[in-house]
Amino acid sequence: MADLDDIKDGKDFGAGTPPDTSRFFLKGAAHHDWGMKARLSAMFRPETGRTVMLAFDHGYFQGPTTGLERIDLTIAPLAPYTDVLMGTRGAIRTMIPPEVNKPVALRCSAGNSILTELSNELISVEIEDALRLGVSAMAAQVYIGAEYEHKSIGNVVKLIDSGLRYGIPTMAVTGVGADMVRDARYFGLATRIAAEIGAQVVKSYYVDEGFENIVLGCPVPIVIAGGKKLPEADALEMAYRAIDQGAAGVDMGRNVFQSEKPLAMLKALEAVVHHGATGAEAYQLFQDS
């Protein structure tokens, strides 16, 4: 093991050499088996290698937050217009019609709330129930540097191991504590750890400086979280910059369902992710809708 006092930040990320995707369209996935690749192909469009995910799992620790008071009225109508739905099994079963027939990234961690320490989570779904739901991926937080870092890593490892037995990808979601610095060094560390323990996809945050190196240093696809609600123009510009710097998609929630025009926002994100629109072009689409 390396001495902690001799760790140096990476510098040569091979920016001019893209990852090899000649054997499968997603980086890091060439050696997975058929079932794993099939589920990844349902989540990420093979023609672009990217995805637009709609996250509405916030209620598992926030309760009925703005925009999610009635998922059947706010999220279900948007489901046909996204590539992937990210939610809890309770919300999926009770408020999303199965005939929507969209891939599901299932929230599989819980055990906390906005009233307690967020990093103290547990695995909340057995693999058998994920199989019953027919999900395309399982997701859990990994809290690097937080009080319960070790436990959160263990949770994700358990999902990865059970997922590998049945060909279900695991998406590690980088959680950030209130006292942590949101910079390229931190997210480079968190995303790389998530990939090294075996996550097939990582959800993380965009940063203004160094994001390209975060992507290059992570050997599996990164999708960006939307985070707090931003003005639509800012959220679309953030999505554009992330895609331009190598992100494989977005997994946004509040920036969609708290928008004044959620469907228009979702379509604008699709324009950025799948059709090469800039942030400004996408915002014009949003305004014209």
Which of the residues are catalytic?
203
CA distances in angstroms from 239 to 49, 69, 90, 186, 217, listed in the order given? 15, 26, 29, 20, 19
Q: Cα(249)–Cα(52) distance, rounded to whole angstroms? A: 6
**Both tokens of residue 198?**
């075996």
Residue 221 CB neighbours (<10 A): 28
Q: What are phi and psi of 71, to 5 degrees?
A: -60, -30
**Long-range contacts from 219-222, C-beta under 8 angstroms, 24+ separation:** 219/19, 219/27, 219/28, 219/195, 220/26, 220/27, 220/28, 220/29, 220/195, 221/26, 221/27, 221/28, 221/44, 221/49, 221/248, 221/249, 222/191, 222/246, 222/247, 222/248
Question: For residue 163, how far is the Cα from the chain centroid?
Answer: 17
Q: Is 135:98 a contact under the CB 8 Å cutoff?
A: no
Q: Cα(218)–Cα(201) distance, rounded to whole angstroms? A: 10
Question: DSSP code of 250?
Answer: E
Cα three-residue angle 4-188-162, rounded to 5 degrees: 95
Q: Is 23:37 a contact under the CB 8 Å cutoff?
A: no
